[in-house]
Amino acid sequence: MGEERTTSSTHESRPHVLVVDDDADVRDLYADQLTGEYDVSTAASGAEALDVLDDSVDVVLLDRRMPGLHGDDTLERIRTSGVDVRVAAVSGVSVGLDVVGLPVDAYLEKPVDSADLRDAVDRLVRVARYDDRVRQYFAVMHKQVALEDAGIDRVDGEYGELAHRREALESGIDDLHARLDHEDYELLFRGLEDDGHDSPADLYA
């Protein structure tokens, strides 16, 4: 079994990054580069990563080539685990067409320098923080549409409260749209379209 390393934090809201790599030097290097801004845990294998993965983890840095449970297999299990987490594949293998169907949020090719590593993690954390607001927005929006389809609209006081809630959330979405670049914005909505929600293009058509 590999070791698990966690850097403690005095800030409970500090994002949590899980580094998964069978190379101890790589794990320690990434942990050192991220420590200070993030809580960092490490896992030496896919199996170990799955053992420690929980809802406290915001971002996983996942090596694709590991002995035992392969990185891609680990990724598949992460996606079916029910844990809502952003995953960046980190690999010494050059990017190929196989990455098209890979359910990752970012792809980093080794060797990864400190600036690129931090930029990738920063972006994934920034997007992840908006998930709850976006999901609340869509939930309210679809409730409102359902009520309208049923002929229950502005006459009802509770409908008005729902409409105000949507306006408040929509303001935050507008701010999000202005602050994130196109790639980040599309990343944020990954998965929502699969659930039958409108796409960002539809939302701002």
Per the prediction, the chain carries an average pLDDT of 76
* Type of residue numbered 68: G
Token representation of residue 141:
């929006």
Strand ranges in the chain using DSSP code E only, listed in sequence order: 16-20, 39-43, 59-63, 86-91, 106-109
pLDDT tens-digit profile of 21-65?
999 999 999 999 999 899 999 999 999 999 999 999 999 999 988
pLDDT tens-digit profile of 113-145?
999 999 889 888 877 766 666 666 766 765 666
Please check the confidence at residue 155 and state whether its pLDDT lies above 90. no
3-state secondary structure of 176: helix
3-state secondary structure of 42: strand
Rounded CA separation 181/87 (Å):
19
Rounded CA separation 198/201 (Å):
8
pLDDT for position 108: 86
- Best-predicted range by mean pLDDT (64-78, 97-111, 154-168): 64-78
Q: How many angstroms from the chain centroid is the CA of residue 200? A: 17
